[in-house]
Amino acid sequence: MLLNILVHYEKNRSIKVDYIRSDWSVSQDFNECLKAILKLAPLLLVNPKLGPEDELDDRWRWFKRCLGALDGTYIQIRVSSKDKPRHRTIKGEIATNILGVCDKNHNFTYVLPGWEGSAVDDRVLQNAISRTNSLKIPEDNYYLCDGGYTNGNGFLSPYRGYRYWLRDWQGENPPPQCREKFFNMKLARACNVIERTFGLLKGR
């Protein structure tokens, strides 16, 4: 019942007919399952930790005091007809925009679901750091992010106006010729951890 409500946008009255239950039973079971899932939060989300000062991993040794990376991803959903325009992405899909934050070991440290697919990444991040259960970043630490976000306290994004994506340096493409491009390449390689983490999650 919980999955039908969350995934297929079913109403309680539809669920009670499908499962031959009363309104009260559907509501009670939904809340019990939701509370059980919330109890798993300490197991599913870890606290971010700094890596060693003498980091050997070439992706991370350039970024001292970095906690990991963040980005948004789209998850396709079903919504009512009146809500479809707000959830339509630039690719025309009906989806929700989810902010994910992970550490260097592919562990999620913060997740903010529920935003419409039409919302831009930076707007979702601003909401994440301003809400009651906010994304907290210790002083002098930061997360890496892509060009969809702006630089600020706790967030490091690439130089604008320079190549950024990893494919820009693959194959026969020339290596970086200036420090801005070199920085962007190193940031992209490290920041790719969030894409791989999303890939692992969606693969499950």
Q: What is the pLDDT of residues 50-85, one digit of tens each?
A: 777 777 788 898 999 999 999 999 998 888 889 899
Residue bearing the bigger pLDDT, 136 or 42: 136
* Pair 111, 17 in one domain: no
Q: Does the pLDDT at position 9 exceed 80?
A: no
* Pair 30, 58 in one domain: no
Q: What is the mean pLDDT of the chain?
A: 87
Token pair recorded at residue 160: 């604008």
Q: Are 176 and 187 in contact (CB under 8 A)?
A: no
Hunting for tokens 């831009």 — which residue is that? Answer: 120
Tell me phi and psi for residue 153, to 5 degrees.
-60, 120
Token pair recorded at residue 101: 């934050």
Q: Are 185 and 162 in contact (CB under 8 A)?
A: no
* Pair 20, 62 in one domain: no
* Pair 29, 102 in one domain: no
Alpha-carbon span 8 to 109, nearest angstrom = 27
* Pair 120, 88 in one domain: yes
Q: What is the pLDDT of residues 103-131, one digit of tens each?
A: 999 999 999 988 999 999 999 999 999 98
Domain encompassing residue 129: 51-203
* Pair 15, 61 in one domain: no
Helix residue ranges, H only, the chain: 2-8, 12-19, 23-38, 41-44, 84-87, 121-130, 179-203
* Pair 19, 71 in one domain: no
Within a domain: 189:
yes
Q: Does the pLDDT at position 7 exceed 90?
A: no
* Pair 148, 173 in one domain: yes
* Pair 35, 59 in one domain: no
pLDDT of 89 reads 92
Within a domain: 44:
no
* Pair 13, 77 in one domain: no
Straight-line distance from the first to the last Cα atom of the chain, in angstroms, rounded to the nearest whole number: 21
In the chain, how many domains are there? 2
Q: What is the pLDDT of residues 146-203, one digit of tens each?
A: 988 988 889 999 988 887 777 776 767 777 788 988 998 899 999 999 999 999 888 8
* Pair 24, 109 in one domain: no
* Pair 20, 60 in one domain: no
pLDDT of 94 reads 93
